[in-house]
């Protein structure tokens, strides 16, 4: 999708954590473990910041909506073809 058809709003870690209802430290932990929404690395250095595309965060959150606790059990996921998918690892 090119930039003209996709208006990207970048969020920092604090904004993203607030949108997800978690702490920034939880989001950092998820990022370290390869969990959570996809992020954008803003540079090549290890200290370079990260940002999140708001649309990606919202899509990630929406994919985790369930109507009952049994709907997200491992057995239910196996039977449903695993409707919840983890984002692909970001190569560095």
Beta-sheet strand order (sheet of 50-53): 10-11, 50-53, 40-41
Running DSSP on this structure, what letter comes out for residue 48? -
Domain boundaries, the chain: 10-79
Write down the mean pLDDT value for the chain.
84
Q: For the domain bounded by 10-79, which CATH number is listed?
A: 1.10.10
Q: What is the pLDDT of residue 4?
A: 47
Q: Confidence band (pLDDT; 50, 70, 90) for 79?
A: low
In angstroms, the CA 79 to CA 81 distance is 6
**Percentage of the residues of the chain whose pLDDT score is greater than 90:** 59
Question: 23 or 68, which is more confident?
Answer: 23
Note the pLDDT tens digit of each residue in 27-59.
Answer: 999 999 999 999 999 999 999 999 999 999 999
Query: How much is the pTM?
Result: 0.69
**Percentage of the residues of the chain whose pLDDT score is greater than 70:** 74
Are 83 and 77 a contacting pair, CB within 8 Å? yes
């Amino acid at each position: 999708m090119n930039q003209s058809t996709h208006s990207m709003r970048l969020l920092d870690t604090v904004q993203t954590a607030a949108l997800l209802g978690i702490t920034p430290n939880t989001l950092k932990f998820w990022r370290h473990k390869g969990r959570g929404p996809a992020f954008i690395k803003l540079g090549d250095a290890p200290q370079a910041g990260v940002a999140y595309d708001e649309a990606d965060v919202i899509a990630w959150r929406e994919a985790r909506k369930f109507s009952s606790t049994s709907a997200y059990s491992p057995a239910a996921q196996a039977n449903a073809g695993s409707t919840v998918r983890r984002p692909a690892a970001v190569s560095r």
